[in-house]
Structure 1
Amino acid sequence: KEKWRSYSETSSVNDNGGASLADRESSLDLIKLDISRTFPSLFIFQKGGPYHDLLHSVLGAYTCYRPDIGYVQGMSFIAAVLILNLEEAEAFITFANLLNKPCQMAFFRVDHELMLKYFSAFEIFFEENLPRLFSHFQTNNLTPDLYLIDWIFTLYSKSLPLDVACRVWDVFCRDGEESLFRTGLGILRLFEDVLLQMDFIHIAQFLTRLPEDLQSHTLFNAMANTHMISRNRRWAQVSSGLLE
């Protein structure tokens, strides 16, 4: 809180080689705006709600801790899920460590080169698992960045029902980044027949906000039928080959 207060009292560049005052203020303004959009149906993170100040503190602390990254839209959903499960200090520590993982760091730093490599790896498994849908997406010029960025940014907590997203998080904590891309393929498999009937606009809208009645067991069945092996290479081998 002291460091945050000092942001409004100095216009100097941060000692950590991070952001200028304008950048920091922009992050703080964006946090305020984004908190009100975080799980609005729960009414617990909005102003006056029991977790509003807590979410604000965790996100504000992160901008102090990593001024080189600041606040990026979508972070509020990740922090909110952690706050629902952990005490304040533990939520912040977990949040900071989670965002420090290679895949999350690539996306939150908006490292275009790295992101494109992750998209390329995803498309290899997309084509292997769902060739008809892959071809349909290509015909409609629907590229992974149009839906994967939002999914990866929020670890599916914005697009999936909260209880289903929490199940996805459990698997992510156990299996790492591969599970995030398996989940994406599971979603596409689950709704393949519906998506094949849609055009570009309707596909993009559908994948941004998935059906609220989506059940975890149906998604996990679709994920179980998704094979993360391409030409005898697993996800880690394919992705690391592209990321070199």
Structure 2
Amino acid sequence: QITKDLKRTLPNHDRYKTDEAQSALGRVLRAYSLWHPTIGYCQGMNFVCAILLLIMAEEDAFWLLAAIVEDVLPGFYHPSLIGVNTDTHTLLDLVAIKLPDVWQSLQTLRLDRESLCSVFVSWFMCLFNQLPSESMLRAWDLLLFEGSKTLFRISLALLKLYSKQLSDLATAVEQGLIPHDTAGHEALKVMRGMPSNAIDSNELIMTAAGGLGSMPKTMLYKLRMHNSRRV
């Protein structure tokens, strides 16, 4: 699987159009799969590792990849995907708590949990590699400093900053201008594109860090425990 994924990793980046860069990426991913065979290799790790190799040497990228997979985001890249599946459902609960207007739009659009979580999985597994470079690297700084709750904060910030399209679609549904199925499909498309819209990194990080209120560890723990039973 690693060999197949090499050419699909950052294919538009000049560096990864070279055999040398793809070989380095393959070496680090294979080394990690041997280092921790219980986890091995999981799709998503290739994008994380590729970004690391843009800014550091292979050995440093290996150890930081190991820290992210094993310590910062435990269970995310496990074959069961228990960690990421738990946290995507937890994010949905946080949307209802922190962004009730966005939650109401999602309910009006009749988007089910599994469809929404499929969008969030793509954000989480690749650590928002869809963001513009500056926004992504600043999000990673927060992640390494504050831990996994940063994924919730960045996701909620995206939904808060770029929610107007969702509310417009919900309004169109309520007015009978668009069928639910069409609006729901368009809403998922809008959400998948939200990270690429975050050109203003200051706005994104300020919203994530200070525009969402507190997220106590006790609250996150309870939500995660509840959702771990769901998945």
Q: Same fold (TM over 0.5)?
A: yes
**Which residue does 2:126 correspond to in 1?**
154
Higher relative contact order (CA 8 A, sep 6+): 2
Give 1:20-169 correspondences, 5 Å limit.
Answer: 30-46=1-17, 48-101=18-71, 104-109=73-78, 111=80, 114-115=83-84, 117-139=86-108, 140-143=110-113, 144-157=116-129, 159-169=130-140
Partner of 1:194: 165
Question: Which amino acid letter does the alignment assign opposite residue 81 of structure 1?
Answer: I
CA RMSD in angstroms comes to: 2.2
1:225 aligns with 2:182: no
Alignment-derived partner of residue 179 in structure 2: none
SS of the aligned residue for 1:101 comes to helix
State the shift of 1:136 in Å: 1.8
Q: Which amino acid aligns with 2:40?
A: G
For 2:224 and 2:153, the matched residues in 1 are separated by 18
Which runs of 5 or more structure 2 residues have no equivalent in the other structure? 170-182, 226-231
Distance verdict in 2 for CA 1:213–1:112, change over 3 Å? closer
Cα 1:242–1:114, aligned 2, differ >3 Å: closer, same or farther?
farther
The 2-side partners of 1:49 and 1:203 are apart by 38
Distance in 1 (CA, whole Å) between partners of 2:81 and 2:191 is 22
TM-score by length of 2: 0.80
The alignment-based identity, stated in percent, is: 23
Provide, for residues 115-174 of structure 1, a one-character-per-residue CA deviation record: whole Å limited to 9, x for no partner: 5543443233212221121122133224341221111111111x2122211110011111
User: What residue ranges of structure 1 are gaps of 5+ in the alignment?
Assistant: 1-29
The amino acid of 1:207's aligned partner reads: M
Measured in 2, the distance between the counterparts of 1:88 and 1:63 equals 15
CA-to-aligned-CA distance 1:191-227 (integer Å, 9 cap, x gap): 0112223422222223324335622122123323112
Asked if the contact 2:84/2:124 (under 8 Å) is kept, the reply is no
